[in-house]
Amino acid sequence: MSRTQALWEQPGSVAEQFWRHGRADFPIYDMHGHMGAHNAIYFARCEAPAMDAHLARIGVRRLVFSHHSALMGSMRNAAVHRIVEGCSERLRMYVAINPHYPEFIKEDLALFDKWPFAIGLKMLSAYHQVAVTDRRYEYALKFASERHLPVLNHTWGGVPYCGGPQLLELSQRYPNVIFFHGHSIFGDWDWSRRCIVEAPGNCYLELTAVPGLRGIIERLVRDVGSERIIYGTDLPWFDEYQVTGGVISADIGDDDIKNILYRNVERVLGTDW
């Protein structure tokens, strides 16, 4: 009964590939994941084997995650790395940074070079209630700067710990750090733009919680270019098909979609990690 050919039926398109086969002929890099149970939400699939099975269905090559209990509880990063060591090739970890425990930060980062599956740092400043610009993050950020590591921040529009002004200041202060702005400064879309165009070329908007919102990906692509946007799901919070569906049904081109789903990450981090 549809009046025109739907986007899923466009021959040779990315949307057609996912619709017909459930995956594409290119990989997906999911740069924002978690693991483990959560206090407020029932997660049926929050441990490595079930997460891995979900990722495999849609063709995710890498999920980079931080463990809930390392961010919000007492689990140490060494224990998270041991989980990854016993898993499939798909999982990589961010070292969780809790600014309230500076001795843990130093101890864990001293082990970083011995952890082949750790590829960057994760900061959750709104939950820890310490602004990303606070000096308690300096040790970790200098460490990331020396190694040119990615740092995934939880960001949210209007939140004083991790809003646009704070992230822009941070990216200008540490030009050698690769900043992934988790949730793309959600809801404060003008600051999303400013955090990219006014930064020294070291920042990317990460999309978790954005796909599905009507018109927002289109706006971000117009404002900063798809070369500055990367894909994420918060898995086990959000379903890979829901998030991918939000990206590929946005009114953007297939090149934009490919930039978001894999090209940008491969350009920034390579493929050998």
Partner 1 sequence: MFFDANCQVGLPMNGGAATATIPALLAEMDRNGVDRALVRHINIDPDGAVVTNEELAVMLANEDPAARLCGVWCILPEQCHELPPPDEFFAAMKRQRIGALTLSPGAHRWVPSRLCIGKLMDAAAERRVPVILPNYSSRWSDLYQFMADFPRNTCILANTGRWGADRAIRPLLEHYEHFHVELSTYWVPEGIKDLAELYGPERLLYGSGFPELNHGSTMLSIRHANIADAWSRLIAGGNLARLLEGAQLS
Cis peptide bond upstream of 99, omega within 30? no
Shortest distance (Å) from residue 58 CB to partner 1: 7
Which of 240, 252, 257, 261: binder of partner 1 (CB under 8 A)?
240
Shortest distance (Å) from residue 185 CB to partner 1: 17
Element (DSSP H or E) covering residue 107: helix 102-110
Length of the chain in terms of residues written: 273
CA distance 30 to 208: 9
Please tell me whether residue 45 binds partner 1 under the rule CB under 8 A: yes
Q: Is the dihedral of CA 127, 130, 131, 132 positive or negative?
A: negative
Which of 11, 12, 39, 42: binder of partner 1 (CB under 8 A)?
42
Residues between 19 and 38 with contacts to partner 1, criterion CB under 8 A: 19, 22, 38
Strand spans (E) along 36-77? 60-67
User: Considering only CA atoms, which of 91, 103, 182, 97 is closest in space to residue 144?
Assistant: 97
Which of 80, 170, 209, 220: binder of partner 1 (CB under 8 A)?
209
Q: Which is nearer to partner 1, 48 or 140 (CB)?
A: 48
Q: Which is nearer to partner 1, 43 or 101 (CB)?
A: 43
Helix (H, G, I), strand (E, B) or coil at 123: strand
Stretch that binds partner 1, among 73-81, 92-100, 142-150, 248-256 (CB under 8 A): 248-256
Per rule CB under 8 A, count of chain residues that contact partner 1: 46
Please tell me whether residue 237 binds partner 1 under the rule CB under 8 A: yes
- Structure-token pair, residue 87: 């898993």
Please tell me whether residue 244 binds partner 1 under the rule CB under 8 A: yes
Which of 148, 214, 222, 267: binder of partner 1 (CB under 8 A)?
214
Is residue 31 a contact partner of residue 262, using CB atoms and an 8 Å limit? no
Residues between 125 and 184 with contacts to partner 1, criterion CB under 8 A: none
Given the structure tokens 């990906």, which residue do they identify? 217
Shortest distance (Å) from residue 134 CB to partner 1: 27
Which of 37, 49, 56, 57: binder of partner 1 (CB under 8 A)?
57
Pairing of strands 28-35, 60-67: parallel
Radius of gyration, CA atoms only, the chain: 18
Please tell me whether residue 211 binds partner 1 under the rule CB under 8 A: yes
Task: List the end-to-end C-alpha distance of the chain, in Å, as a whole number.
Answer: 47
Is residue 117 a contact partner of residue 87, using CB atoms and an 8 Å limit? no
Binding site for partner 1 (CB under 8 A): 1-4, 6-9, 15, 18-19, 22, 38, 40-45, 51, 54, 57-58, 209, 211-215, 219, 235-246, 248-251
